C-alpha cells in the first residue's frame, strides 16, 4: 500500500468515518493473520491474537503520528503480540514423536511426502526463538516489505539479514535428517 493511501486511511479512521476502520482491517487482515499463524506456537489462537492486534491498532490510531509507515507500526504490534504470546507455555513439540517419525534417510529415498515435510518444517520452526520465527514468517510472505520488518524490530537491515541467515541455518540443522 502506498504511503499516501496509508495516510488517507489513517485520517479517515481518525475522523471516525463509517467503514474506515473496516477498510483498514480488510487491507491488512490477511497479512497479519498469516504472520501470526506462521509465528505463534499454537496456530488455533491465531484469530484471537490477530483480533488483539487490530484492537490495539484501534486504540492507538489517535496517537499514531505517522512518523513510521502504517504497515511498520502494524508489524511492530504483531511482534509485540507474538512476543507476549511466546511467554506462554509452549506446547511440547518433538520432531520424533511417533506420529511423525520418518525412517532414516539411508533407508528411504528422497521422495518422501511433501505434506509430511511441511508438517515437520512447521514443528521445526516452532523450536526457533520468536524473533527468528517472525523473520522467517515475514521474509517468505508476499506483500511484507523486508525493510518494514527491520524498522518494526528496531534493527538495521544488515542485522535482520544476519538473523535470518542464522535462523535458516538452525532450521537446516534441525531438519538435516529429513532433507538429505
Partner 1 sequence: MTCADVADLVDLIASGDLAADAAVSAHLSTCAACAQSLDTARRLEAVLRGRPAPAAPAQFTSRLVNRLRRANWRREQIVDGVFNGAMVLAALLVATGLWIALRHTGLPLASRDALDLVSAGLIAAAQKVTPSLPLYAGATGVLVVALGLWWWASDSPAL
- Binding residues for partner 1 (CB under 8 A): 21-22, 25-26, 29-30, 32-34, 37-38, 43, 46-47, 50-51, 54-55, 58, 114, 117-118, 121, 136, 140-142, 161, 165, 168-169, 171-172, 175-176, 179-180
- Whether residue 12 contacts residue 23, with contact meaning beta carbons closer than 8 Å, is answered with yes
Q: In angstroms, what is the minimal distance from the CB of 67 to partner 1?
A: 25
Q: In angstroms, what is the minimal distance from the CB of 76 to partner 1?
A: 19
Q: Give whichever of 55 and 108 is closer to partner 1, judged by the CB atom.
A: 55
Q: In angstroms, what is the minimal distance from the CB of 141 to partner 1?
A: 6
State the cell numbers at 76. 511492530
Q: Give whichever of 3 and 40 is closer to partner 1, judged by the CB atom.
A: 40
Q: Which residue, among 109, 128, 104, 114, has the nearest Cα to 176 in the 3D structure?
A: 104
- Whether residue 137 contacts residue 38, with contact meaning beta carbons closer than 8 Å, is answered with yes
Give the chain's length. 180
State the cell numbers at 23. 477498510
Amino acid at each position: 500500500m502506498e504511503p499516501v493511501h496509508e495516510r488517507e486511511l489513517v485520517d479517515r479512521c481518525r475522523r471516525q468515518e463509517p467503514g474506515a476502520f473496516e477498510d483498514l482491517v480488510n487491507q491488512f487482515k490477511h497479512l497479519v493473520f498469516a504472520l501470526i499463524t506462521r509465528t505463534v506456537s499454537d496456530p488455533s489462537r491465531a484469530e484471537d491474537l490477530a483480533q488483539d492486534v487490530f484492537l490495539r491498532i484501534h486504540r492507538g490510531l489517535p496517537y499514531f503520528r505517522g512518523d513510521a509507515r502504517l504497515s511498520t507500526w502494524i508489524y511492530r504490534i504483531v511482534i509485540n503480540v507474538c512476543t507476549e504470546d511466546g511467554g506462554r507455555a509452549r506446547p511440547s513439540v518433538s520432531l520424533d514423536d511417533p506420529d511423525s517419525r520418518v525412517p532414516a534417510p539411508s533407508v528411504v529415498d528422497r521422495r518422501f511426502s511433501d505434506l509430511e515435510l511441511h508438517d515437520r518444517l512447521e514443528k521445526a520452526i516452532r523450536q526457533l526463538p520468536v524473533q527468528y520465527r517472525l523473520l522467517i514468517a515475514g521474509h517468505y510472505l508476499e506483500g511484507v516489505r523486508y525493510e518494514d520488518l527491520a524498522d518494526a524490530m528496531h534493527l538495521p537491515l544488515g542485522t535482520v539479514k544476519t538473523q535470518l541467515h542464522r535462523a535458516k541455518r538452525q532450521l537446516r540443522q534441525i531438519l538435516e535428517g529429513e532433507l538429505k
